[in-house]
Amino acid sequence: MSSTLFIVLGFSIIFIMTTLGALCVYFLKKPSTFVNMLTIGFASGIMLSASIWSLLIPSIEYSEEQYQDLFIIPVAVGFLLGGMFMVLLDKITGHFSNLKKDEGKNKAFKLFTAVTVHNIPEGLAVGFAFGSAFATNSPMFSAFLIALGIALQNFPEGLAVALPMHKTLNNKHKAFLYGTASGIVEPIFAILGFFLASQLTFLMPWLLSFSAGAMIYVVGEELLPELHINEKTTIGTWAFMIGFIIMMLLDLCL
């Protein structure tokens, strides 16, 4: 598969999976707990593994080449900035959500805003991964695996936005559009991230560690807590472990 096709597919799949998740609003009245736990656990494992093997470790390698004895600074600072960026976005989301008076609509629109906003660094992470691979002539498959891990997470997110919107608006068509719209920012920022990474090679360690920090923040703050909301935590935990090891093996062996 050509590099161009990998890039197009990677940028498309992150949005397509959100749309497919939102599409389920036409068929489901209530999401299956088993499927939800399985999907979130598996996606969390893939994203955490991708953050380590495909983002942090390459960030360390690039940083050693460019910053030598000071290599740890871009890695550590970039990682923390990624997490801080997500905290800032969470605060902005909370500010705007408080402007709404209706409690039901407030909760639904807060979820929509939160999912949409946190999709921005995820899109950047995909763009940075493909951009760094392009700039360094590395295999595009590793970057595609990052996009795939994020895409798996986007499926339940699309449904998670569409279902409360359907309950609030009592309109499946509008609920589907809201769920789809929550993911449109990802390919847009993926394109931006691609050109940033390909043109600013000297910032690569910072960008990769920033993406890892943002992704791990999302996993720790939003996904992993979802695995402990009911008694069936073992399902999600095993899905998490399987997702992690699959991503690790793919990244190390291919």
Q: Which pLDDT does position 138 carry in this prediction?
A: 77
Q: Confidence class of residue 231 from pLDDT cuts 50, 70 and 90?
A: low
Residue 176 has pLDDT above 90, yes or no: yes
DSSP character string of the chain: --HHHHHHHHHHHHHHHHHHHHHGGGT-SS--HHHHHHHHHHHHHHHHHHIIIIIIHHHHHHHHHHHGGGTHHHHHHHHHHHHHHHHHHHHHHHHHHTT---HHHHHHHHHHHHHHHHHHHHHHHHHHHHHHHHHTT--HHHHHHHHHHHHHHHHHHHHHHHHHHHHHH--HHHHHHHHHHTTTHHHHHHHHHHHHHHH-GGGHHHHHHHHHHHHHHHIIIIIGGGGGSSS-HHHHHHHHHHHHHHHHHHHHH-
What is the pTM for the complete model shown? 0.67
Tokens of 216: 């791990």
72-76, 93-97, 171-175, 223-227: which is most confident: 72-76
% of the chain with per-residue pLDDT over 70: 86
**Does 206 fall in a domain?**
yes
pLDDT, mean of residues 63-75: 90
The pLDDT value recorded for residue 100 is 46
Instruction: Identify residue 222 by its one-letter amino acid code.
Output: E
- Total domains present in the chain: 1
| CA neighbor of 240 nearest in space, from 43, 52, 55, 34 | 43
Q: Nearest to residue 21, comparing CAs of 243, 183, 248? A: 183
Q: What is the SS3 string spanning 163-208? A: HHHHHHHCCHHHHHHHHHHCCCHHHHHHHHHHHHHHHCHHHHHHHH
The predicted model gives 192-207 an average pLDDT of: 79
Fill in the amino acid letter for 46: I
**Is residue 28, in this structure, part of any structural domain at all?**
no
The CA-based angle 148-152-154, given to 5 degrees, is: 110
pLDDT range class, residue 60, cuts 50, 70, 90: very high
Lowest mean pLDDT among 30-39, 103-112, 153-162, 222-231: 103-112
- Domain hosting 170: range is 3-23+33-253
CA gap 135, 203 in Å, rounded = 12
Structural domain contains residue 136: yes
